[in-house]
Structure 1
């Protein structure tokens, strides 16, 4: 028994070395990610965050989903719309709202066109920024 106790104690104090082997392009990818997160490069220059969208259509008919999207785009051409397909349903969602209050306001405006709507919490794209040369 005494022999096993001393062996167990010595095994716990023995230290080894850990060597991490990374692909050569790993550091390049880390640097690119840091640049994108700062907003200083890349094609988008922004990151997504969670917010709200108004779901204006949900159903299995693809053409009805595209019709709902076209109807929305006709009334609100400046706002983004998204079609999500999760078998067997198509869902049309509109807007990139940072707060639920903004989404509720849009839902109230849409009542004449879309009788059944839901507010969905999901990752959103930040609103487009206006760049002027003043």
Structure 2
């Protein structure tokens, strides 16, 4: 009985070897056509991104207090939300933990809803402009 099993496997292997030489992959071409307005849209988006000053973007403040607790809060935030940048800012007399750099208030509010689960005192604001 074992001999029959080995014989069947050998026949299958030999036939598979011969048929593999006959098999061919399909050949073809792909043509991609795009609307010329897409290039215009990309150019327009680049212009908007260059005009937008980083200082006018929305941020979320998750902490206000002493340095030790600010560092602890920042670490906790970075551990839970690794996709958004967090920074510590000093404004006399407190340290503040600011997160994100959102273009619109809608974008910031959406993220705020997620952050409020862990940091209930968080709020959205526009940071004051730097003096030149």
TM-score range, shorter-chain basis? 0.5 to 0.7
> Quick one: structure 1 residues 54 and 47, their matched pair in 2 at CA, closer, same or farther if it must change by over 3 Å?
closer
TM-score (norm 1): 0.53
Alignment gaps of 5+ in structure 1: 1-37, 39-45, 124-134
Count the aligned residue pairs: 78
Bigger Rg, structure 1 or 2: 2
CA distance in 2, matches of 1:83, 1:49: 16
In terms of fraction of residues, the more helix-rich structure is: 2
Q: Show the 5 A alignment for 1:6-25.
A: none
Superposition RMSD in Å: 2.0
Q: Secondary structure of 2:127's partner?
A: strand
Q: Is contact 2:54–2:101 with CA below 8 Å preserved after alignment?
A: no
CA distance in 2, matches of 1:101, 1:119: 10
> Quick one: structure 1 residues 110 and 86, their matched pair in 2 at CA, closer, same or farther if it must change by over 3 Å?
same
1:99 paired with 2:104, answer yes
In terms of fraction of residues, the more strand-rich structure is: 1
Alignment gaps of 5+ in structure 2: 1-49
CA distance in 1, matches of 2:55, 2:93: 27
Which residue, out of 94, 101, 116, partners 1:89?
94
